[in-house]
Amino acid sequence: MRRLAALVVLLAPFLFLSPARAAVTPPQVYGAWHCGDDACIWGTVRAVAEFDGKNHWLIDRGDGRPSVNLVVLSFVHPLKLLRGTTDATTLNGVPRGMTPEIVGYFTGRGIRVMVSIGGITYTDAWNQALAEDAAGLGRGAAALARRLGVGVEIDYEENNGPDLAGLQAFVTAYRAVLPYDASGADHAARLTIDVAAGDRWLIDINRKATADWLRTDAPVLDYANAMVPARQPSTSGAIANWQEHVDGKPQYSPPVPPLAPARFTGSLYIAEGGKVRPECTNFAASLQNSTGSFVRSVAPNGAGTTAGMLGYMFWAAERPSTRGVTTAPPNTCEGGVGAGATAYQIPIPMPALRQS
């Protein structure tokens, strides 16, 4: 009887799992935004050897395997891209530091690369570019994607009266050049969007993206990133934010529909203000560890059929601000991000993504 009782105690966590909790899906996206060494301007050409000295942790978690399967170079100025601007930091509309050599540094190790257009600093520039020629911006983004062999992320952070008609014209023009590719084989066809951490900011953009572009039955964008909030959340705060996307906001007028878990990632800081986060250096104490069960098992609630979010994104590699900490040595992230890649058996290269 004692042996039976002991066996029951050992098996109890498994005997009483609910069906929703039992469905676990490993993360497919595990990536980092990258701000270069100049607070996200990417204004100068960098030698690969110098770049590697600051960023080697991204391609080597300590055992020769990359720490991530995606890097998003941030940011491209939307108005300069539209106009093909050449100036001190930009060449034909593209930041001078976003070179084929830097892209190849990652893709040569099986890491997918994207570029992000916008960011909070360039909100006005997004508004200007959409008003001037939204379709032209979409075609310019597609040309950039094709030229570098990268995907494109829409980071349009207009919370008040965003130009949704212009944004639709941008997406339509991009997709006219580079159609949606469920296989993921065409890297330039990968088109994503950033939404807020939960459903209470960027509401109009989130509603539009969820209703029209992130559906599982007629997908237009590949997925969304639920961005980092103003500061690093607690475990419960992160989960509450992400659950809002899964549930939607039926009480809003008009409502925000639910988002399939397979259509978005959750985001965490690795360097925030003046301190390096456990998310960078200590997986055991990190939010990617404490939220891992939720991210892998959250059940759909009105959209999608499979449990689990798409994965994690981390803000941000190297120098995200002029006065804050960096992830350059000695503050490298093998012990947090890299250890998480091992714990979650992150596939490298990134496989075809779940579609529902």
SS (H, E, C) the chain: CHHHHHHHHHHHHHHCCCHHHHCCCCCCEEEEEECCCCCCCCCCCCCHHHHHHHHHHHHCCCCCCCCCCEEEEEEECHHHHHHCCCCCCEECCEECCCCHHHHHHHHCCCCEEEEEEECHHHHHHHHHHHHHHHHHHHHHHHHHHHHHCCEEEEECCCCCCCCHHHHHHHHHHHHHHCCCCCCCCCHHHCEEEEECCCCCCCHHHHHHHHHHHCCCCCCCCCCEEECCCCCCCCHHHHHHHHHHHHHCECCCCCCECCCCHHHEEEEEECEECCEECHHHHCHHHCHHHHCHHHHHHCCCCCCCCCCCCCEEEEEEECCCCCCCCCCCCCCCCHHHHHHHHHHCCCCCCCCCCCCC
**By C-alpha distance, which of 335, 344, 355, 348 is closest to 62?**
335
Per-residue confidence at 273, pLDDT binned at 50, 70, 90?
Answer: confident
Q: Please answer whether residues 100 and 129 qualify as being in contact, where contact means their C-beta atoms are separated by less than 8 angstroms.
A: no
Average pLDDT of the segment spanning 312-325: 93
Radius of gyration of the chain (CA): 20
Per-residue confidence at 303, pLDDT binned at 50, 70, 90?
Answer: very high
pLDDT score of 1: 40
Q: What distance in Å separates the CA atoms of residue 318 and residue 305, rounded to the nearest whole number?
A: 37
pLDDT digits (tens, 9 = 90+) for 241-256: 999 999 999 999 999 9
Whether the predicted pLDDT of 130 surpasses 90 = yes
Instruction: Give ∠ CA 56-59-60 in degrees, rounded to 5.
Output: 80
- Answer whether 0.85 is exceeded by the pTM: yes
Percent of the chain with pLDDT over 90: 90
Q: What distance in Å separates the CA atoms of residue 189 and residue 204, rounded to the nearest whole number?
A: 25
pLDDT digits (tens, 9 = 90+) for 84-116: 999 999 999 999 999 999 999 999 999 999 999
Average pLDDT of the segment spanning 75-80: 98
Per-residue confidence at 22, pLDDT binned at 50, 70, 90?
Answer: low
Q: What distance in Å separates the CA atoms of residue 222 and residue 100, rounded to the nearest whole number?
A: 24
**By C-alpha distance, which of 134, 224, 143 is closest to 170?**
134
Average pLDDT of the segment spanning 201-218: 97
Superfamily, domain 24-343: Glycosidases (3.20.20.80)
Percent of the chain with pLDDT over 70: 94
Average pLDDT of the segment spanning 38-48: 97
Higher pLDDT, 174 or 321: 174
- Beta-bridged to residue 317, according to DSSP, are 34
- Beta-bridged to residue 116, according to DSSP, are 74, 153
Average pLDDT of the segment spanning 135-163: 98
**By C-alpha distance, which of 195, 209, 40, 227 is closest to 115?**
40
pLDDT score of 62: 97
Whether the predicted pLDDT of 13 surpasses 70 = no
Q: Where are the domains of the chain?
A: 24-343
Whether the predicted pLDDT of 20 surpasses 80 = no
* Token couple for 231: 């500061």
Q: Please answer whether residues 79 and 128 qualify as being in contact, where contact means their C-beta atoms are separated by less than 8 angstroms.
A: yes
- Beta-bridged to residue 264, according to DSSP, are 224
